[in-house]
Amino acid sequence: MEPALVDIGPRLVRGEPEALEDCYRALGPLVMSYVGRYVPRSDIEDVMQRVFYEVWRSHDRYDPDQSLRGWVLGIARKRAIDHLRRRRDSVVSIDAVREITGDDGREIADRMAWADEVRAALLALPQLQREVIALAYYEGLTQSEIAAHLDLPLGTVKTRTSRGLQRLAALLESGRNE
């Protein structure tokens, strides 16, 4: 069983090498996806290595009361920007750099961390609630269309959606307080 992120952070601060491995396993795919939006495919592994080297090097500066995802993605953002600045072999568009930094320098990393938290919370929902929410928000179906698609009464879809959104909100709120 994979350790939860809330368990990894304090272990990382204590300098436990296994915590870095667990952090890489838990967040590596997210960081790779984030970095891959900005650096060439051939450079992703190099940037990833720098990101997790930096995570380990500065592990004692991580605040376990804050989001581990957000902290690691912040480091990834900085390493991606550094990589783009060092590239002299090709021109990097100012729009690419502007997109990665956002207005306050954290916008994209924060949005990706939030999206990851939402996905994790969705997975914690009962399957019946998760199904109607996914159809509504990811497939863009109306509640009537969901009812027809799942061959359910409209009232059942409305109840599952309402309860699922309430539970999702509670899961996200408890995740912010961890």
> Each residue of 29-82: pLDDT tens digit?
889 988 888 888 888 888 999 999 999 999 989 988 888 998 999 999 989 888
pLDDT of residue 36: 86
pLDDT bracket for residue 175 (50, 70, 90): low
Q: Which residues of 32-55 are buried (b: 16+ CB within 10 A; e: fewer)?
A: eebbeebbeeebbeebbebbbebb
pLDDT of residue 41: 86
For the chain, give every domain's residue range: 1-123, 125-178
Of 25, 1, 24, 23, the closest CA to residue 10 belongs to 23
- Tell me how far the alpha carbon of residue 149 is from its chain's centroid: 30
pLDDT of residue 113: 67
pLDDT of residue 98: 54
Q: Look at 17-21, 30-34, 142-146, 167-171 and tell me which has the smallest mean pLDDT.
A: 167-171
Q: Is the pLDDT assigned to residue 169 strictly greater than 90?
A: no
pLDDT of residue 1: 38
Write the pLDDT tens digit of every residue in 84-110: 877 655 555 555 555 555 555 555 566
pLDDT bracket for residue 6 (50, 70, 90): confident
pLDDT of residue 112: 66
Q: Give CA–CA dist 120/31, Å, rounded.
A: 16
Taking CA atoms, 178 is separated from 64, 66, 68, 72, 97, in Å, by 9, 8, 10, 16, 32
DSSP H or E run through 111: helix 107-124
Write the pLDDT tens digit of every residue in 118-163: 788 888 899 999 999 888 877 788 889 999 999 999 999 999 988 8
CATH class of 1-123: mainly alpha
CATH architecture of 125-178: Orthogonal Bundle (1.10)
pLDDT of residue 66: 87
DSSP label of 89: S
Taking CA atoms, 77 is separated from 33, 72, 122, 142, in Å, by 12, 9, 26, 36
pLDDT of residue 86: 76
Residue 112 neighbours by CB distance under 10 Å: 20
